[in-house]
Amino acid sequence: MAKVSALGRGLGALLGEIEEAYENELPKKRGVEEIAVSKIRPNPYQPRKHFDQESLVELAESIKAHGLLQPIVVKEDLDGYVLIAGERRLRASKLAKNKTIKAIVVSVSEEQMREHALIENIQRDELNVIELAQAYQELIDVHELTHEQLSQTVHKSRTQITNTLRLLQLSEKGRKALIDGKITAGHAKVILGLEPSEQAMMIDSIIGQKLSVRDVESMVKRIKLPSYSSAHVSSNEALRFDRLKARLSALGYKNGTKGYKLTIDFKDNDQIESFLNLLS
């Protein structure tokens, strides 16, 4: 429990607005300074990997017109500074061609750097849903938290945390489709229980056919039917599958069945064309 209580005390001061964090948890070495942008390295613990370019351009234009209203937070390093908070502001300042940026230099440990990067992004809703799930998982792993304890720490509902973490069960293709906005979180939750190959098929169908979440729910139910038991297939149905398999094999098509599902493996495009001609 020592880890949990330490987390509560350490991260509690980092929650909320970053100005509050400046005062309560991050001891200032000096006041607000102008630091060369070129001397600031990214935070290695930054959980956020995707930044909307259009939004950055808008922020850059605002900085050009009004200046940077909120300083970034950095830690002094041997050959310059390491960013702790404010990556969007730093990126936008670079886009604005600013040579320097307002910053507060603070003294923090490596653990505080990581925690602050996670918490700032969680609190500001700046992470996409996969990055958010990864941030939750990292806090859980590092501090050995339950979902309920994490819920109390980051002020998100336990249900939201649990449902978000489940998205880490998606295949790589599923994660990318979700991040790119090609499928919704609703779609993702429905296909979670499928095998990676089945997820890939469903994702292609969602994108290609503009399927709704309800459409996907119906399709997933059909895919999962074999899991109930092959005993649900009547002898007549099994017989028709056997005859169909034999017929396909005689025509040179490699095939297989599982429950209600029959698959055909094609050798090349010519065999696909031949099969289409056979159907027509």
User: CA 56, 60, 63, 66 torsion: positive or negative?
Assistant: negative
Residues catalogued as catalytic: 87
Distance CA 42, CA 57 (A): 19
- CA distances (Å), 134 to each of 149, 178, 221, in order? 17, 14, 29
Asked if residue 235 lies in contact with residue 241, where contact means CB atoms within 8 angstroms, the answer is no
The full DSSP string for 40-97 is EEPPTT-------HHHHHHHHHHHHHH--SS-EEEEEETTEEEEEE-HHHHHHHHHTT
At 51, give phi and psi (nearest 5°): -125, 130
- CA distances (Å), 174 to each of 71, 249, 256, in order? 37, 34, 26
